[in-house]
Amino acid sequence: MIRADYAANPEQSLGRRYDEREPVYRTHFQRDRDRIIHSKAFRRLEYKTQVFVNHEGDLYRTRLTHSIEVAQIARAVARNMRLDEDLVEGIALAHDLGHTPFGHAGQDALNQCMKPFGGFEHNLQSLRVVDELEDVYADFDGLNLSFETREGVLKHCSLKHAADLGDVGERFIHKTQAGLEAQLANIADEIAYNNHDIDDGLRSGLITLAQLCEVPIFAQVYEETISQYSQLSGTRLTHEVLRRLINLMVIDLTDASTQAIETAKPQSIADVRQQAKPLMRYSDAMRQSKTQLKQFLRQNLYMHPKVYRMSWRASRIIEQLFDAYMNDRKLLPAEYQQALPSDQGSGEELHARRVSDYIAGMTDRYAMREYGDLFDLSKM
């Protein structure tokens, strides 16, 4: 395959934070992807919630299976558009490494707890995992990934944090774009979760096919499927509808992005970065359909009373663990009792940052076990 001129090129990478020998028989982006797969944070994704708490059922998505689905979608588009598949795969596999236990409820609760200390953003935390927190290499902290992978992992961050991030923060200050692989991983994330949350939502019984047909694009694909397979039902029907829906989105994304590239004519990744808007995009019609689908999921699944109760309980666990570790650092494992050498701030801020590192790194079941350990005093 011939790489497109506007794709990221591992031989022209903007480099790593610490100099290293050139990889042998692998590109820089392959090495990044391989390091991500061998990281501790990657293995923990298996036991972290996407929407449903990890122990609720074996068929629901976890952050690990979600990340693999994102990588699958992103790689398919990357190959078709002659982008760097290894880079997009690495970004996809790493994009959720900074997520707390208990999905968005956990992230919101930890952000609340961290408000007085600069807040908690999961994208920033994903970057922190790959830049600082992984601690298995002899020569450096973190995974020492290439700039292009790191900018994709960061995805977004608030302006107030961008200034502290050095090279990967600059694009938020100068309002430039990330490379196409980073843009693609971001949209593949959305395609994956919108579709698998429908699947998990139906499996759980919290939403129904009839309800989903309120969403025009879903109704359209559902009608098509039923007219072809009138007898189909259950998980085969759901799967058949969802595979068509994913396909529609992927094809739309590929066509609309290819068209945007043909119009803008970027000759290099530098040209891609200078665009006013991301070149990876849906058509206007698909963007509208996607928004309707997201609204449906927010109202009917993420805010469902059962999910809401689970989220409420998760928030209490995070808050109480946070308070306990803030008030008594001896409850933390020894390595979290110390600030990182690279961190700056007052003593309390530094301590809070380590508490949030510890909590964010927990899996769902680890957090529940730790909560029981500290607060269920009947178990001695």
Contacts to Mg ion by CB under 5 A: 96, 189
**Cβ–Cβ < 8 Å for 122, 107:** yes
d(CA 317, CA 371): 6
| SS3 category, 333 | coil
Query: What own/partner pairs with CB < 8 Å and gap ≥ 24 does 17-25 have?
Result: 17/131, 17/140, 17/142, 17/144, 18/139, 18/140, 18/144, 20/139, 20/144
- Minimum CB–partner distance for residue 18 and Mg ion (Å): 28
- Minimum CB–partner distance for residue 311 and Mg ion (Å): 17
Closer to Mg ion by CB, 66 or 171: give it.
Answer: 66
Closer to Mg ion by CB, 41 or 352: give it.
Answer: 41
- Minimum CB–partner distance for residue 286 and Mg ion (Å): 19
Closer to Mg ion by CB, 94 or 165: give it.
Answer: 94
Closer to Mg ion by CB, 32 or 189: give it.
Answer: 189
Single out the residue of 317, 314, 323 nearest to residue 351, CA to CA: 323
- Minimum CB–partner distance for residue 150 and Mg ion (Å): 17
**Cβ–Cβ < 8 Å for 77, 85:** no
Closer to Mg ion by CB, 85 or 189: give it.
Answer: 189
Residue 124 CB neighbour total at 10 angstroms = 23
- Minimum CB–partner distance for residue 66 and Mg ion (Å): 6
d(CA 78, CA 237): 29
- Minimum CB–partner distance for residue 57 and Mg ion (Å): 20
**Cβ–Cβ < 8 Å for 292, 215:** yes
Continuous segment of H or E residues that includes residue 109: helix 103-114
**Cβ–Cβ < 8 Å for 157, 121:** yes
| SS3 category, 122 | helix
Closer to Mg ion by CB, 31 or 155: give it.
Answer: 155
Closest residue to Mg ion: CB criterion: 189
